[in-house]
Amino acid sequence: MIVRKKEHWFRMLFVWNGSVLPTLLPRLTLLLLLSIIVTYYHGVVFSFKVPLNPVPLTMFGFVLALFLGFRNNASYERFWEGRKLWGALLNINRSLTRQILTLVKKSDYLDKNHFISLQIASLYALKHQLRGTDPSDDLTGRLDKQTLDAVLPAKYKFAVLTKLMAEWVEKAKSQALLDTIQQGRIDENLDRLYDVEGGCERIASTPIPYSYSVLLHRTVYVYCLMLPFGLVDNLGWFTPLVVVFIAYTFVAFEAIADEIEEPFGTESNDLALNNICKVIEESVLELKGEKLPGTAQETKYIID
């Protein structure tokens, strides 16, 4: 994901990196060429004048805009729910770190750093689980070899790491390093970790119904293909310019909705999970008394 400070209104007109325009350029170019050909022949195809005018296109465009609005709202709701889940992950990990550091008594037989390393590793495990990528590099530097060998073969590594955290807490209880009430409070936060994982998995595994996406996709492009035939009589050689501008609006809305529908991916408008993981890791280490050089939020913009 690209995160920028708000640009000047004039510069926003020319922003390239992070917009969907680079991916739409081939499609818009084809529509421009079609509009030029239609304008040159005045809407005549094989000696037949296509009888279209702006009135039905205007009505159809209004209805299409409403459907695109619903589609974008549904996609953004998924995007925002994913962001709230990862925001909750930050709060849970801060609470867990505070509880481990303040409630669990010091012991030569139980290392608090091991629990915190499990926390941090679980963040990256969840990120890779949602993206379907290999977490080995991120986990290798954060877990000892014994734990790494136990976690890497698992399909749901985040759940396994959370289980290992629960086992650590149980050992602390058995060694009288915390009481039953304190164990229960820590266990509540561990349950909340599973809630976050389940919410993310629900978003990742339940896309917007495919038939709905196909219908809207076809409708957008059929509408854009009809536009030059309906506008050529009134606009003349301005038709290609107007068609490309209208098509850009509709096609871009659909492209943005497609991107943010799956918020855990690596496209420009997906959630910045790399950056979020770094922020949570830095927050946890700072509570422990450490601090990484620099913070993930200091950069002007972030490509995740």
Per-position pLDDT tens, the chain of length 304 = 555 566 666 677 777 776 788 888 999 999 999 999 999 988 888 778 888 888 888 888 888 888 888 889 999 999 999 999 999 999 999 999 999 999 999 888 889 999 999 999 999 999 999 999 999 999 998 999 999 999 999 999 999 999 999 999 999 999 999 999 999 999 999 999 999 999 999 999 998 888 888 988 899 999 999 999 989 988 889 999 999 999 999 999 888 888 889 999 988 888 999 999 999 999 999 999 887 655 444 333 344 5
CA 284 to chain centre: 23
Nearest-angstrom CA–CA distance, 294 and 179: 38
What is the pLDDT at residue 213? 86
User: CA nearest 62: which of 254, 246, 258, 240?
Assistant: 246
Nearest-angstrom CA–CA distance, 262 and 215: 19
* Runs of H (alpha helix) within 44-156: 54-103, 112-131, 136-140, 145-151
Specify the pTM.
Answer: 0.85
Nearest-angstrom CA–CA distance, 127 and 270: 12
- For 199-263, give the DSSP string: HHHHHHH-PSPHHHHHHHHHHHHHHHHHHHHHHHHHHGGGHHHHHHHHHHHHHHHHHHHHHHHST
Nearest-angstrom CA–CA distance, 171 and 165: 10
DSSP structural state of residue 294 = S
What is the pLDDT at residue 45? 83
Q: Where are the chain's structural domains?
A: 23-43+51-288
What is the pLDDT at residue 134? 94
Dihedral of CA 158/159/164/167: which sign? positive
What is the pLDDT at residue 53? 83
Per-residue buried b or exposed e for 19-52, using 16+ beta carbons within 10 Å of the residue's own CB: bbeeebeeebeebbebbeebbeeebeeeeeeeeb
What is the pLDDT at residue 3? 59
